[in-house]
């Protein structure tokens, strides 16, 4: 073991980019320059040459994170079309006067419900939030919600929806690994973790709103109180709603991936624009105008891929996981469940399904040897993947900020830390009672 110790400490050095990043964003740095600096640090730690670094960036252009960045830009473009056709105004008018979303708390709850349903059914957080963002942002602006609040809602609720939806990739993988039924998983795993996530998030939202509502505001919207929908705007709104529902149902039926959202948003923008009386050329101009506002975010997503990969390549995540292993010999079954959750949460980063597979295969011999409850193990796997996304800057965090048009990383991380602590404590209690 002594010969392994230097390697562990050398591996922990690989976490330097992440540590520097957290320090920089808490010193009010913008995400893009902070990411650039940390990518360069990671490149030095992994001994990249100019040629190999260029290859890494080129490869990142075709990554899932780059796809998410493109979807965010298209979402902004769709938002421009919905604004031009007054579809957004018409929806806000109907919601505020039809349902009564006229206070900050009602707006928060309404956005949370919309996010939960759409992301849970589509099975894609980026895609779901991309579709609902143009609808809910005017509502948030109308009641005075800050972009920071909406960003936190998009991530916290989106992450939760992914462990509740019947066809989401994490749920499908989880059921396959543990052989639990969907009903059992939902009742004993999904819903408890959802409550542990959303209850503290709700209280954090109130605090974030108090702290930011006078400092951050969405651009001035049209006066919704005096706005009267025209027959054309109502036709465009009905068209958009029908197409949206049809696209969502079709996506669920064919189990479409995230790339399907690109076609949906372009189709919605084109057809809604034409029905709303906007020329084809003008629609394309609006889409480009909206996308141009998020070019910096697209570059950020391209850089996030090597940012995480350099940490992994430097051995940072592996070394962190190695430090937890001696706990198994001491704590038995509860320790295995707790260790699995902590290893995934703080030691492994990457695609959720890949993380689930890696964790399950890593601990499968111990699970079999100690006859660990699959329900408890399912909680460990869920907490592992959720905590990772809440505390590590990644696609889900930045996509949520992008859709919400927020630049406040501190609010995201602060809520993430609170949720991660609550989930970790829940895992600790659950592991000792049910393992």
Q: pLDDT tens, 137-158? A: 888 888 888 999 999 999 999 9
Helix (H, G, I), strand (E, B) or coil at 227: coil
In which element (H, E) is residue 325 found? none
Distance CA 51, CA 209 (A): 46
Instruction: For residue range 363-375, list pLDDT tens digits in order.
Output: 777 777 778 888 8
Please provide the average confidence, as pLDDT, over all residues in the chain. 83
State the angle between helix axes of 104-122 and 191-212 in degrees (0 to 180), rounded to the nearest 10: 140
Query: For residue 327, what pLDDT is reported?
Result: 65
Residues 226, 286: Cα–Cα separation, whole Å: 25
Q: Are 174 and 238 in contact (CB under 8 A)?
A: no
Q: Write down the residue that tokens 């592992």 correspond to.
A: 384
C-alpha 236/C-alpha 249 separation (Å) is 20
Q: Is the pTM of this model over 0.75?
A: no
8 Å CB contact between 162 and 120? yes
Residue 201 reports pLDDT greater than 90:
yes
The helix/strand/coil state of 255 is coil
pLDDT digits (tens, 9 = 90+) for 233-253: 999 999 998 998 898 788 878
Helix, strand, or coil (residue 90): helix
DSSP 8-class letter at 189: I
- Is the model's pLDDT at 26 over the cut of 80? no
Alpha carbon distance 136, 139 (integer Å):
5
Write out pLDDT tens, residues 52-111. Answer: 999 999 999 988 778 878 887 888 888 889 888 988 778 767 776 677 777 888 889 888
Helix (H/G/I), strand (E/B), else coil: 351: coil
Rounded distance between C-alpha atoms, residue 355 and residue 348, angstroms? 7
**What's residue 30's pLDDT?**
79
Q: Distance between CA atoms of 232 and 360, rounded to whole angstroms?
A: 54
DSSP designation for 186 = I
Residue 109's CB: how many other CB atoms inside 10 A?
A: 15
For residue 361, what are the contacts with CB-CB under 8 A and spacing of at least 6?
none
Please identify which residue in the block is written with the tokens 């990457």.
350
pLDDT: which is higher, 346 or 241: 241
- Give the Cα separation of 380 and 368 in Å (integer): 16
């Amino acid at each position: 073991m002594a010969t392994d110790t230097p390697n562990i400490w050398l591996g922990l050095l690989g976490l330097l980019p992440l540590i520097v990043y957290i320090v920089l964003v808490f010193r009010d740095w913008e995400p893009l320059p902070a990411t650039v600096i940390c990518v360069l640090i990671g490149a030095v730690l992994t001994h990249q040459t100019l040629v190999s670094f260029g290859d890494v960036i080129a490869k990142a252009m075709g990554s899932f994170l780059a796809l998410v960045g493109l979807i965010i830009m298209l979402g902004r473009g769709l938002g421009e079309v919905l604004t031009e056709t007054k579809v957004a105004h018409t929806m806000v008018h109907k919601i505020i006067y039809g349902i009564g979303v006229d206070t900050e708390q009602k707006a928060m709850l309404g956005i949370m419900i919309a996010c939960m349903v759409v992301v849970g059914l589509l099975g894609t957080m980026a895609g779901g939030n991309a579709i609902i963002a143009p609808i809910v942002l005017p509502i948030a602006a109308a009641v005075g919600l800050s972009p920071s609040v909406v960003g936190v809602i998009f991530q916290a609720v989106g992450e939760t929806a992914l462990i509740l939806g019947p066809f989401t990739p994490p749920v499908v993988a989880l059921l396959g690994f543990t052989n639990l039924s969907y009903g059992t998983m939902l009742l004993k795993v999904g819903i408890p973790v959802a409550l542990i996530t959303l209850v503290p998030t709700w209280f954090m939202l109130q605090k974030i709103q108090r702290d930011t509502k006078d400092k951050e505001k969405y651009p001035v919207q049209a006066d919704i109180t005096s706005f009267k929908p025209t027959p054309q705007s109502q036709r465009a709104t009905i068209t958009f709603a029908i197409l949206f529902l049809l696209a969502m149902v079709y996506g669920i039926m064919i189990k479409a991936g995230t790339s399907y959202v690109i076609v949906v948003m372009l189709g919605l923008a084109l057809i809604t624009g034409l029905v709303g009386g906007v020329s084809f050329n003008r629609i394309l101009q609006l889409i480009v105008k909206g996308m141009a506002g998020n070019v910096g975010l697209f570059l950020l997503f391209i850089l996030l891929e090597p940012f995480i990969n350099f940490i992994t390549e430097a051995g940072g995540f592996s070394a962190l996981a190695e430090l937890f292993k001696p706990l198994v010999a001491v704590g038995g079954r509860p320790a295995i469940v707790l260790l699995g959750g902590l290893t995934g949460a703080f030691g492994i980063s990457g695609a959720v399904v890949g993380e689930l597979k890696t964790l399950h295969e890593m601990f499968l011999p111990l699970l079999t040897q100690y006859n660990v409850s699959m329900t408890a193990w399912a909680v460990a796997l869920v907490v592992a993947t959720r905590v990772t996304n809440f505390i590590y800057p990644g696609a889900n965090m930045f996509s949520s900020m992008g859709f919400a048009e927020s630049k406040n990383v501190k609010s995201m991380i602060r809520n993430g830390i609170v949720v991660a602590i609550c989930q970790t404590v829940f895992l600790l209690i659950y592991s000792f009672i049910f393992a």
